Amino acid sequence: MTIKNIFILLPFLLNLGCSFNQLKYDDISTNSYEILFDEGIPKDMQNTLNSILKSSKADSNNLVKVEVKNFMYKEYDIYAGDALRSLETEVKSSIELRINGKKTINKKLSSMKRFNSNELNSLADSEMKTFIKRELYMDLINQLVIEVALIDL
């Protein structure tokens, strides 16, 4: 064997020696989910999660309990310069997640957004806040669905 053939075969042998597997998503429709919400979770977030993770209690073998609790939403105004009002607003939101399947997973999911708040129109500012709040909710919901789909059952 020549040196050229060895250099060609070496990466293939090293790749075979490493036991890397492709990340496998669990199909959400095969399991049945029992979703438990804390009192502080907003209703629109609850409705969206219930529609995504439809619970069918017919199959108790693949029952996965998902507990969503400790919802937090904070706004923080950032002041700078000569202006008497804030230049930017930082919005943070987080939830705690507990997934009980064959194994238990505890996670804290969080999301943060920043936007300019130096609008002269107060209606535009309030609409921007509601838009950002909706975006944070959807980001947390997407993170939660990914965590539920990645669980090894």
Maximum Cα interatomic distance, the chain, rounded to a whole number of Å: 77
Asked if the structure places residue 18 within a domain, the reply is: no
Residue 92 confidence (pLDDT): 94
Q: What is the pLDDT of residue 61?
A: 67
Q: Helix, strand or coil for residue 87?
A: coil
- What pLDDT, on the 0 to 100 scale, is given for residue 22? 59
The answer to whether position 75 is within a domain reads yes
The Cα 151–Cα 56 span in angstroms is: 19
pTM of structure: 0.73
10 located within any domain: no
Instruction: Specify whether the CB–CB gap between 105 and 151 falls below 8 A.
Output: yes
Does residue 119 lie within any of the structural domains? yes
**pLDDT mean values, one per 10 residues, the chain (153 residues):** 74 64 58 84 88 67 83 87 78 91 86 84 86 92 86 55
Beta-strand ranges (E) seen in 15-140 are 32-37, 63-78, 88-100, 104-116
Please report, for the domain that includes residue 37, its CATH number: 3.30.160.150
- Whether 112 maps to a domain, the answer reads yes
**Are 31 and 64 a contacting pair, CB within 8 Å?**
yes
The domain total for the chain is 1
Determine, yes or no, domain membership for 8. Answer: no
Q: Answer yes or no: is 90 within a domain.
A: yes
* Domain range for 76: 24-149
* pLDDT for residue 153: 45
End-to-end CA distance of the chain: 46
**Domain assignment of residue 134, yes or no:** yes
CA dihedral 140, 146, 148, 150 (to 10 degrees): -150
